[in-house]
A and B are shown apart, each in its own frame.
Chain A
């Protein structure tokens, strides 16, 4: 599609079947589809992660973030509540705050013409509102109330903040559903949070490929030679893959295997089977959530991942940057009451994750291989998703792509790409 003669019909036709075992490669590279994703998914009736409450502890604190390609500010107000507003002046559209975080004091002021807003985004004033000596300025009938910042609906769940451009969206808990809330609050269990640090990387592939990767336990037991070599993740481990009723959210969890029997890799080729690790802390977690699970990955539609691998905890936010690129923002966190040993463990086990992580550097590489590979495809070419069958159900094993198929069921419904499952 060249974008000049696209129509809704041509987009719905790209899916060759009612189900989601074939994902057309156009959805990863077509500019028109991408523009519709921003409107229908990110700026539509979804709840989007914007940060942690502990990032803005004091009145006036803000943190800048993205929903889709729109910039937003998460702000702590004077009364302790949170607001989320678009980071764009209502006057001429200038970006209000440039730093990733800071303190706005009691008001947000545009640096360009000093139009000033409350921390809720209401326009309160501007220089020369009445001109000079009765000349110039704004007409007296200018409606200040109609020219505030775009304010989003905000909810937070145990310290994690979400926002929506749709003020009529169901509550966050309804959006997540009881199963997802249960696993979300397993990690975010009400203990005070602290940020351990940030990582950001730009990966040149469509944002959905990043989400797919975290819904794909099949790759984890094959691509990640580091995990396989040390028994941190193997496809034969006791495990769960859960898909929620909406099909858009999911959790995958495994209990740690042992290093014994690591030579049995199910046919996966390991380059250095004798490689022994010096630093055992890296792979020896302290269980902290009252169960034996050592890896859990929760993906919430559309674009946030909550990771607990051993004791390295992080939110990974996927920010689309055009059809062929996205930014991945990692917020590594811990709990305020972590003891010194746990603080050190979180820093050391962070070696597993992030842009240089023993595990995740493979992901960033493989995802770029995907985008390069599919970019030369013809209309009608599609990804094949038949590992574990054709359904989108939960499983007690890891050799499945059902979580990805579920994601595209929800995606098709929201995008109006035919009636998935019909």
Chain B
């Protein structure tokens, strides 16, 4: 996804801070909710995929989730809240520092992420470690994800993945 892009490191602090804020607001929509906000961090046509590193390294696109429009993201947010049965849980994303490059087409943003999950009994476990590899564009003065690829290392998932990542 990166190789063909001609990109330059972004050094403008204002841009870097806006992108960092986008990422923090994004994870907050999942960790703190409401989940109804989550789809609106994306452009209308977009690509959101959650792919194991195992599949990714084999050149396989199969993801545990794959959405290509805001509509599909809204489907997921609605289904998770109203058409799924699962034990309640708390999700917590911890983000590492973000590397940002300007590709001309948008900002390529990469950061490590660890996602923890806490059960109703209060036990916290590591759900996965992953990298966000995102393409961010500006639309009407607002930064949005045109692509968000969550490539996760933990390809032996403990139980199930309920919330988006």
Contact A279 B71 (CB under 8 A): yes
| A357–B80 CA distance with the chains assembled, in angstroms | 10
Given contacts A275-B79, A278-B72, A279-B75, contact A351 B66 (CB under 8 A): yes
Contact A196 B65 (CB under 8 A): no
Asked if B52 is at the interface of the complex by the 8 Å CB criterion, the answer is yes
Contact A332 B62 (CB under 8 A): yes
| A196, A197, A364, A365 — most chain B CB neighbours (10 Å) | A197
Asked if B126 is at the interface of the complex by the 8 Å CB criterion, the answer is no
Contact A198 B55 (CB under 8 A): yes
Please give the number of chain A residues whose Cβ is less than 8 angstroms from any Cβ of chain B in the complex: 42
Given contacts A197-B60, A278-B72, A350-B63, contact A358 B84 (CB under 8 A): yes
Q: Please name all residues of chain B whose beta carbon is closer than 8 Å to the beta carbon of A351 when the two chains form the complex.
A: 65-67, 76
Contact B79 A226 (CB under 8 A): yes
Contact B160 A271 (CB under 8 A): no
Q: Which candidate, B10-18, B19-27, B134-142, B151-159, is the interface stretch facing chain A?
A: B151-159
A361 CB contact (under 8 Å) in B50, B60, B156, B160 = B160
Q: Which candidate, A40-48, A152-160, A183-191, A201-209, is the interface stretch facing chain B?
A: A201-209
Interface residues of A in 139-165 (CB under 8 A from B): none
Q: Please name all residues of chain B whose beta carbon is closer than 8 Å to the beta carbon of A362 when the two chains form the complex.
A: 84-86
| A53–B55 CA distance with the chains assembled, in angstroms | 18
Asked if A356 is at the interface of the complex by the 8 Å CB criterion, the answer is yes
Asked if B69 is at the interface of the complex by the 8 Å CB criterion, the answer is yes
Main secondary structure of the interface of B (DSSP, over half): mixed
Contact B75 A195 (CB under 8 A): no
Q: Please name all residues of chain B whose beta carbon is closer than 8 Å to the beta carbon of A200 when the two chains form the complex.
A: 52, 155-157
Contact B160 A364 (CB under 8 A): yes
Asked if A277 is at the interface of the complex by the 8 Å CB criterion, the answer is yes
Asked if B8 is at the interface of the complex by the 8 Å CB criterion, the answer is no
Asked if A100 is at the interface of the complex by the 8 Å CB criterion, the answer is yes
Contact A369 B87 (CB under 8 A): yes
Main secondary structure of the interface of A (DSSP, over half): mixed
Given contacts A279-B72, A356-B161, A368-B159, contact A197 B55 (CB under 8 A): yes
Q: Please name all residues of chain A whose beta carbon is closer than 8 Å to the beta carbon of B86 when the two chains form the complex.
A: 361-362, 365
Contact B78 A201 (CB under 8 A): no
| A278, A356, A361 — most chain B CB neighbours (10 Å) | A356
B158 CB contact (under 8 Å) in A201, A226, A356 = A201
B83 CB contact (under 8 Å) in A203, A226, A354 = A226
Interface residues of B in 77-136 (CB under 8 A from A): 78-79, 81-87
Given contacts A347-B63, A354-B64, 13 further A-B contacts (CB under 8 A): A199-B52, A199-B62, A200-B157, A201-B160, A272-B78, A275-B78, A277-B75, A279-B67, A282-B75, A350-B66, A360-B160, A365-B86, A365-B160
Taking Cβ atoms with an 8 Å cutoff, the residues of B that contact A are 50-52, 54-55, 58, 60-69, 71-72, 74-76, 78-79, 81-87, 155-162
Q: Can you report 14 residue pairs joining A to B where beta carbons are below 8 Å apart?
A: A100-B54, A197-B51, A197-B58, A197-B62, A198-B54, A201-B156, A201-B157, A202-B158, A226-B79, A277-B75, A350-B62, A355-B160, A362-B86, A368-B159
Taking Cβ atoms with an 8 Å cutoff, the residues of A that contact B are 100, 195-204, 223, 225-226, 229, 270-272, 275, 277-279, 282, 327, 332, 347-348, 350-351, 354-358, 360-362, 364-366, 368-369
**9 A-B pairs with least C-beta separation:** A197-B62, A278-B71, A272-B82, A356-B161, A364-B160, A197-B60, A356-B64, A361-B160, A225-B83
